[in-house]
Amino acid sequence: MNNNKLSKYVVFTKRINKKNDRILFSTRSNKLLLISESVYSAIKSENLKKIPKYLQLKLYESKILIDRNENELLTVINENKSKVAQQLDRLYEIIQPTADCNLSCSYCGQIHSKINMSDEIIDRLVNRILYKIKANKFKELTVGWFGGEPLMAMDEMRVITEKLKNFCDLNSVKYSAIIASNGLLLTKVSHFKSGC
């Protein structure tokens, strides 16, 4: 454990309480740890011998501490390439059926307009997705619905979903969908008739 260094992909908060504890976050492993000021100082000064062995091990397992000889950027690139290679039979498409939204959140950077996809745009979008599936022989399609507020275009979502699901069902392609929504338009009758 003495041949370790701090990962480049770690973020520390400022002191969060009277004991001067900090939160440490590894963007590489998505792990959060609460650490004392003495552990923070030991990490920052690379004096890791001052950190108890059990905590060094936890920091290492969380990819907060890494092997001193590791080319971390190359490791992260290779990990990402490996993940992509595992998903080669899956197509993920993000669809924004509308630029409209039923909220005016102060933090939102989007400009909203009451414009939904036209029939022509829907046909072109669906044809492009079907072309990708056929050309790459994808076995799985996942649609991510985003907006504005995608539920403001429920009719368009239903049309697109029906067309994509029909193709997927006929061609043994697994279909799934996710939605980023503020949830205000979710009701008992807002579900898709096509089973989504």
- Per residue in 53-94, pLDDT tens? 999 999 999 999 999 999 999 999 998 888 877 777 999 999
Residues 165, 92 share a domain: yes
Q: What are 141's strand-pairing partners?
A: 91, 175
User: Residue 196: is its pLDDT beyond 50?
Assistant: no
Within 13 A of 123's CA, how many CA atoms are on the CB side? 3
**Mean pLDDT computed over 147-161:** 94
Q: In this structure, which amino acid lies at residue 25?
A: F
Residues 133, 116 share a domain: yes
Q: Write down the pLDDT at residue 67.
A: 93
Query: Is 102 a domain residue?
Result: yes
Residues 172, 145 share a domain: yes
User: Residue 154: is its pLDDT beyond 80?
Assistant: yes
Residues 156, 100 share a domain: yes
Query: Is 184 a domain residue?
Result: no
Residues 168, 105 share a domain: yes
Range of the domain at 147: 87-179
Residues 92, 30 share a domain: no
In the chain, pLDDT over 70 holds for what percent of residues?
94
Residues 154, 121 share a domain: yes
- DSSP secondary structure letters along 18-58: TT--EEEEETTTTEEEEE-HHHHHHHHTT-GGGS-HHHHHH
User: Residue 194: is its pLDDT beyond 50?
Assistant: no
Residues 127, 61 share a domain: no
Residues 100, 61 share a domain: no
